[in-house]
A and B are shown apart, each in its own frame.
Chain A
Amino acid sequence: NAGVTQTPKFQVLKTGQSMTLQCAQDMNHNSMYWYRQDPGMGLRLIYYSASEGTTDKGEVPNGYNVSRLNKREFSLRLESAAPSQTSVYFCASLMRAGGYYGYTFGSGTRLTVV
């Protein structure tokens, strides 16, 4: 099915460990985004990529890095995980077609850092 695919769905890390969250979309969208969602705080933008080869910081970029590997894939890396990074992470791509203008989200990665 067309859409945004995120892996893994769940992950538990120890403080200081590193990991990469993967995101891929098969809709040929230019812009892709990484958000984190915490209770009571809504979705907050970590990084985004307006097009292949470009990335920019969002509202909460500290402790994260990203790579836009190609037009389909946009990965998020935690180099040294901290308990404050416990959250649900969502990848999204921006669709503009036929009167539809909005994000398509993946199903999320639930990350716990202990």
Chain B
Amino acid sequence: EDQVTQSPEALRLQEGESSSLNCSYTVSGLRGLFWYRQDPGKGPEFLFTLYSAGEEKEKERLKATLTKKESFLHITAPKPEDSATYLCAVQADNNNDMRFGAGTRLTVKP
């Protein structure tokens, strides 16, 4: 069965303090690994899709990387507006849907 584990559950950073969020996964043939951002009271918002080990994608202060067992979301010099819950999901080759992790709740203090 496909599984996704995110760590830590919660992370508090000072503005400008870089860090990484982890997403460990097991899947029988990876079609894609996805990162979403979710603000309180809203639906998740798409950030990145990664397809194969070694792939990297960047958007502003965020950079996502992928290995055969895990993905990292690196946050460089975060700002308070980066505070949100970050969700990781995987889709297997033989599935039409995605399996989500429980998320990492990020708080960035000014």
A residues sitting closer than 8 Å to B (CB atoms) are: 4, 31, 33, 35, 40-45, 48, 50, 56, 58, 90, 92, 100-108
Contacts and interface: CB of A to CB of B under 8 A. Distances in A.
Contact of A103 (B46, B101, B103): B46
Range class of the B interface residue count: 20 to 34
A30 B91 CA distance: 17
Interface stretch (B13-21, B59-67, B73-81, B92-100): B92-100
A100 B87 CA distance: 17
A35 B98 CA distance: 10
A41 B43 contact: no
14 contacts: A31-B96, A35-B100, A41-B102, A42-B87, A42-B100, A42-B102, A43-B44, A43-B100, A56-B96, A100-B46, A101-B49, A105-B36, A105-B45, A106-B43
A100 B45 CA distance: 13
A101 B36 CA distance: 12
Given A40-B102, A43-B87, A107 B97 contact: no
Contact of A33 (B4, B45, B97): B97
